[in-house]
Chain A
């Protein structure tokens, strides 16, 4: 599926990276622990997290992730948005909590 599909499924609002919405997503990972994210290498992944700090973007960048979804409607700071723009990573937020957000993407065919 595409990043745009992820947005629709999660009823998410795109915060930055509108130009990359047609990029493909092959995997997803839901975690608030960045070292756990760093333990599993996958290509073209989306990261769902309730954590909001610049290390989320740095972690996603290290893993070549293409999109970060903040759950529970969390708002990133301008510093985080700027960093994500620089790295070409799409940021979005969904009002959903982590469990249903992951479940809906899984149901739509995305795997971990």
Chain B
């Protein structure tokens, strides 16, 4: 099953709509709650990042029996220092975003923690693509 969503870049309050829908879909399909949570938290964090830094983007999710993959693509400014961005607590988010409860520098570290596969392709001035997957372990 393939799903496609747009993340708006001009309305921060709507970031999280895609991950919310993916969550309900995965639950209905009967995936284990830990798998659902790890995947949807990761998509949610990436959506928030897109809304804060990149002016929005698109989310493509592929649901397979053995893995769930999400690819998040934006045409934003790119990540100049990926090593720093992966450190907990490091953030370039502006103060108005902090007042909304984000920008603690936990986004990418959280995604890394919760996913089994994470690949980040970023080019400064062009944009960023995050490819992430959660593997379904056989019972």
Would you call B37 and A41 a contact (CB within 8 A)? yes
Residues 42-76 (chain A) with a chain B CB within 8 angstroms: 49, 51, 53-56, 58-59, 61-64
Residues on B with beta carbons closer than 8 Å to the beta carbon of A35? 45, 48, 101-107, 110
Binary interface encoding of chain A residues 93-109 relative to chain B, with 1 for a CB under 8 A from any of its CBs, else 0: 00000000000000000
**In angstroms, how far is the closest chain B Cβ from the Cβ of A98?**
14
A32 contacts partner chain B, Cβ-Cβ < 8 Å = yes
- Report A36 CB to chain B, min CB distance, Å: 6
Interface size class of A (residues with CB under 8 A): 20 to 34
Instruction: List, sorted by A's number, 17 A–B pairs whose CB atoms are closer than 8 Å.
Output: A32-B101, A33-B102, A35-B106, A38-B110, A39-B113, A41-B34, A49-B101, A53-B13, A53-B101, A55-B13, A55-B101, A55-B102, A58-B16, A58-B19, A62-B41, A63-B41, A64-B33
The list of the 3 closest CB pairs from A to B, nearest first, reads A35-B106, A58-B16, A34-B101
